[in-house]
Chains A and B, each alone.
Chain A
Amino acid sequence: MSIRLLLVPVIFAGCVPSTAPVESELALRRDVLHALHTEVVAAGYADLTARSAVLSDAASAFCTAPDAAGLEAVRTAWLEARTPWKQLEVVGFGPVVDEPYRFGPLLDFWPVRETVVDDLLASEAPVGPADVATFGASTRGFPVLDYLLWGPGEGSLDAFVASPRRCTYVASLSADLHTNAAALEAAWVAYAPALEDPAAAGTLPYADTQEVVDEWVNRMLFTIDDIRAEKLGKPLGDSSGGVPLTDAVESRYSGRSLRDTRDAFAGVERLFEGEPTGFQELMPDSRTPIGFFEDFAERRRLAREALEAIPETLEESVVAAPDRVVAAQDALREVQVSIQVDMAQALGVTLAFNDNDGD
């Protein structure tokens, strides 16, 4: 055999491109997912657990001797506990929605069914902590507390003083919320490792980490869409021919609606930026539009500012300052386009090719 023939496979091997870049990209993907699942989500759920414990303690203390300071402490604790919860609204998968847990409805079944809560209070059904743990979603969680702690308006404290049962119910709800938050945190910690290698785990509906990335990016854009269409759009009248629906405002009794939207938006931003690494690290230069990061940062800044520019409360603004709400919706649309179109393309999230090609 001539020496030249021996060289053929060597030359051929030299022409074959290396797969090292792909392998390092996959390793980076696992690292980023790990960081997000621990530093953002697990840490966020832990924060929720801690804050809900404060809420539970404050509610117990308040009910021993209801007074204005005690009520204010419970309200403050509720407002603060809601921050990590809304920032993690983007986590619309896993124990928060999956059976058998479904912590989402237990913690935040919205809008509150006022008559159901009123009927329960008017009844003689026990409302202790163990009883509340058996209740359905419409009589548990953040929204019921929102309704009880701030309603009926100025007479809120009087209502608690007049009805120890109301206070017992609030204390039980707060304890239940804390129990569920702790259980959610534990469930997530047990669930998340499989997301970093779903094929090996074989217990998740994802075949590989690309599908996990898909889930995350879809959740990010759904969250933005939800803020636009549900949190802002519905009260604004987008589903009622332009006629505002003020009772469709989230957290409307406490007036936390706009803060809810800002928290939910911040949650999306945290996924992108990461702590310390987020989805921005996963966007390959070769597939990311030139100037995307600067443009996306600017769009997010404008959306934040537009949300800040809506006067409190949202319930009033959809009537008195609808243009501000529309401006926020428009700014959020720009953010959504960046995620849904540019980011999705760069990350290969739109996996299925054009549906005209196959079934």
Chain B
Amino acid sequence: MTDALGLRVDGASVWAFRVLFGALLAVMPVRFAAYGWIEELYLAPTYHFAWVSWAVVPPAGVLYAMHVGLAACGVAIAAGVAVRPALWAYLVGFGYLELLDKTLYLNHYVLVTLLLVTLAVVPLPGRSDRVPRWVVGLLRLELGLVWTWAGICKLNADWMLRGEPLHTWLRARMELPWIGPWLGLPETALAMSWGGAAFDLGIAPLLLVERTRPLGFVLLVGFHAITGLLFPIGVFPWVMLLGALLFLPESWPRRVLPSLGPALEPEPGSMPVGTAVLVGAFAVLLAIWPARSALIPGDVMWTEQGFRFSWRVLLIEKTGQVDYRVVDRATGRSWTTSPRQELTELQHKQMRTQPDMILDYAHHLAEREAAAGRDVAVYAESYASLNGRPSQRLVSPDVDLTTLTGWETGWIVPLRDPPGR
């Protein structure tokens, strides 16, 4: 087993992936800055939903310098200059920026982080080198799990029987020329839902099997082109298309660029037992981590506990409304506070349907009042709707949120009509 995984195969595909991935890494921070998001997402908000208390937004100059540095690291990774230090530097910088605000969470940023971690520790081949087969396998596994878990998570009644939330989103496009009226039909949403689930569940096997690989690539390009055109999902299609190249034969870059020389035949090699144990444990963790929500009470699409870091993509359309009742414990005086007054539009939109962010903001309110010399209890008046259901309470209005850490159960009102599995 370890000999099979340790077999040294042509490293050209991993080399090409590193080059192209580096280029994408260079573009991402430039794009982020060019869209004005440094200002809008980091500097404009006066409060941030930080993942950890020590993650604080640096001054503007440092932020811009970090983005320049990240772009330079991306160039270095693509160019093959000081690759490993550049990967680590990118990982630390990018990771820190992501920790600054939950509002910025994106599934493909998690994938980018995961790929950075992997590339930072595995053996990386040069253009003329071989690479242990397990490196290719691990990268393929990481990408394959994204699609597969995305497919598994779509196997619920909302997606498969109601065509939601696709129907909601496609209806918003029904004024497009030619295809618009078709997009407004529930039958279209249902067909696309089934097609999407089938694609997610089937694409990894299709890409892995040599005979079906061409079909897999056609489907892959078509799927990501359609989703990229219909929905504003940024660089996500590019990340996945890039990753899919890893499923081609290891020597594919040499066919595209003959100057890279002829394909390298595999050479025997072995995988050290320690490495095998570590990689195996990591692979198992990656495979089962998205399932953790099964251990948490409540529907994950409603509570969102265990929703992040589990490749639940395009699954929910939620709208909500929240404000807080603040009660001065000393005087009994109470008043209402709307988060809209302090948060940016994006932050407000995100937090009003996500219980953990509602809780975070309640703690922030308590801290803000404490700074003004008031000891307060904070209660949420929150309502939300999931995938077209009638609105209902999201967080219990009777629970003083300042007494919770977020790990407790019972403070999120159960969904009245769960989608089922």
Contacts and interface: CB of A to CB of B under 8 A. Distances in A.
Given A329-B336, A354-B318, A359-B233, A348 B172 contact: yes
A156 interface: no
Q: How many residues of A sit at the interface, in one of the four size bands?
A: 35 or more
Interface string B207-236: 000000000000000000000000111111
Interface in A207-247: 208-210, 225, 228-229, 233, 236-239, 241-242
A199 B175 CA distance: 9
Contact of B319 (A241, A326, A345): A345
A341 B391 CA distance: 6
Contact of B316 (A338, A341, A349, A354): A354
A94 B109 CA distance: 38
Interface in A319-359: 326, 329, 333, 336-338, 340-342, 344-346, 348-359
Interface string B311-328: 001111111110100101
A342 B372 contact: no
A338 B385 CA distance: 10
B374 A241 contact: yes
A238 B335 contact: yes
Nearest to B165: A353
Size range of the interface on B? 35 or more
B175 A208 contact: yes
Nearest to A352: B232
Contacts of A337: 321, 383, 391
Contacts of A357: 106-107, 231, 233, 236, 313-314
B349 A358 contact: no
Contacts of B180: 22
Nearest to B174: A22
Interface stretch (A84-92, A133-141, A254-262, A284-292): A284-292
B156 interface: no
Interface in B175-219: 175, 180-182, 184-187
Looking at A17, A208, A342, A354, which has the most chain B CB atoms within 10 Å of its CB?
A354
Given A229-B338, A340-B319, A341-B385, A353 B169 contact: yes
Contacts of A225: 338, 340
B336 to A, nearest CB: 5
A25 B319 contact: no
Contacts of B236: 357-359
Interface string A19-34: 1011101100000000
B405 to A, nearest CB: 23
Contacts of A209: 175
B295 to A, nearest CB: 21
A359 B186 CA distance: 26
Contacts of A241: 328, 333, 335, 369, 372, 374
Contacts of B307: 356
A353 B338 contact: no
28 contacts: A17-B185, A17-B187, A26-B175, A209-B175, A210-B172, A229-B340, A238-B336, A242-B335, A289-B389, A292-B390, A329-B336, A336-B321, A337-B321, A341-B391, A342-B391, A345-B319, A346-B388, A350-B319, A351-B172, A352-B232, A353-B316, A354-B314, A356-B307, A357-B236, A358-B106, A358-B231, A359-B233, A359-B235
Interface of B: 103, 105-108, 165, 168-169, 171-172, 174-175, 180-182, 184-187, 231-236, 307-308, 313-321, 323, 326, 328, 331, 333-338, 340-341, 346, 349-350, 369, 372, 374, 381, 383-385, 388-391
